[in-house]
Amino acid sequence: MSEFDLIGRYFAALGPERPDVALGVGDDCALLEIPAGQALAVSIDTLSAGVHFFPDCDPEHIGHKSLAVGLSDLAAMGAEPVWATLALTLPAADEDWIRAFATGFERLASAHGMRLVGGDTTRGPLSVAVQVHGLVPTGAAIRRSGARPGDAVFVSGTLGDAGLALRRMLAGESVAPELRRRLECPEPRVELGQRLRGVASAMIDLSDGLAGDLGHILRASAVGAVLELDRLPLAHQVADVVAATDDWSLPLASGDDYELCFCVPPAHIPNVERLAEALGLPLTRVGWIRASAGLDLRRPDGGRLTQPARGYDHFPVADDRAD
């Protein structure tokens, strides 16, 4: 199968048709129409075999996750997903692999009304880069820089599930299917993100662990925070590990949660409680923002936890305390 057959068969009509796509796959560029009064939110992520997924991972899950990580970024800005582009580097034109990949990508794209409008296909070591495009009313995007002292800190879902799945897979142990799904098929919190416009003062998606990712909000907002460890929402498998080892690195410093962490001024807290009910998604208050810098991790007994090792860094340096 030639490169063009492959694109035509699997990627030319992926996701729903949209009236704002004047021209999609097939020309030198896509032509896209941004409605008046909306800003375009753009983010790109690369998943590389052996770094971000096991080379023998189900290609349907790779298709899903390669889009999910971008959708999580759009969610974290409060943006509505609209278009995607896909740069696919493949060692060979294995049609079964490509069909399964496209199926996983398509299912998630369609669930969020997103159209694939272009891309690039090349031969080389397996790697997938997806750029996502979202719309957000001008001025309504939720940045990292808006947290203020007194705001409550919330997280969605549960923390550390994907980290536990990865840890067990690396150790060659069996992994419960629901944990494995959290690693390989994360559900980006797209609707929650949009419904937090006008409610949250700052937001980030959790891809490198709560402690490090909340740290980005704290630096961008020039504030500090207290986290109460006994409030962290944990699945029972993760809670068991923490109870047995007193090691908090799963919920605080492991990657791939793809939950949202957001700050909420006190007056808006009832809105968050209503939202949790409406979405059927736990939204848990885990701490608060304070004026003095730093992240204070409080144990149930009142003691303090030293911050566990930071989330995954692709280019670690010997001494990076300055950043």
Could you list the residues that contact ligand ADP (CB under 6 A)?
Answer: 7, 11, 25-28, 86, 88, 116, 118-121
> 119 contacts which partner out of ligand ADP, Mg ion, none, CB within 5 to 8 A by kind?
ligand ADP
Q: Smallest distance, Å, CB 53 to ligand ADP?
A: 18
Nearer to Mg ion, 118 or 311 (CB): 118
Q: Determine if 120 is a binding residue for Mg ion (CB under 5 A).
A: yes
**Rounded distance, CA 265 to CA 267, Å?**
6
Under the phi-then-psi rule, with left for phi > 0, alpha for psi from -120 to 50, and beta for the rest, what region is 194?
A: alpha
Cα 291 → chain centroid: 27
- By beta carbon distance, the residue nearest Mg ion is 120
Nearer to ligand ADP, 68 or 88 (CB): 88
150's tokens? 């007194």
Nearer to ligand ADP, 110 or 245 (CB): 110
Strand, coil or helix: 82: strand
Q: Smallest distance, Å, CB 283 to ligand ADP?
A: 35
> 26 contacts which partner out of ligand ADP, Mg ion, none, CB within 5 to 8 A by kind?
ligand ADP
16's tokens? 């729903």
Q: Smallest distance, Å, CB 114 to Mg ion?
A: 21
Nearer to ligand ADP, 126 or 162 (CB): 126
- Rounded to 10 degrees, the C-alpha dihedral 63/66/69/75 comes to -60
> 76 contacts which partner out of ligand ADP, Mg ion, none, CB within 5 to 8 A by kind?
none
Nearer to ligand ADP, 126 or 203 (CB): 126
Q: Determine if 95 is a binding residue for Mg ion (CB under 5 A).
A: no
Residue 197, number of CB atoms within 10 A of its CB: 17
| Element housing 63 (H / E) | helix 59-77
β partners of residue 298 = 228, 304
**Rounded distance, CA 48 to CA 45, Å?**
10
Nearer to ligand ADP, 91 or 282 (CB): 91
Q: Smallest distance, Å, CB 74 to ligand ADP?
A: 19
Q: Smallest distance, Å, CB 103 to ligand ADP?
A: 14
Q: Smallest distance, Å, CB 85 to Mg ion?
A: 11
β partners of residue 118 = 85
Cα 160 → chain centroid: 13
Strand, coil or helix: 13: coil
Give the binding site for Mg ion (CB under 5 A): 120
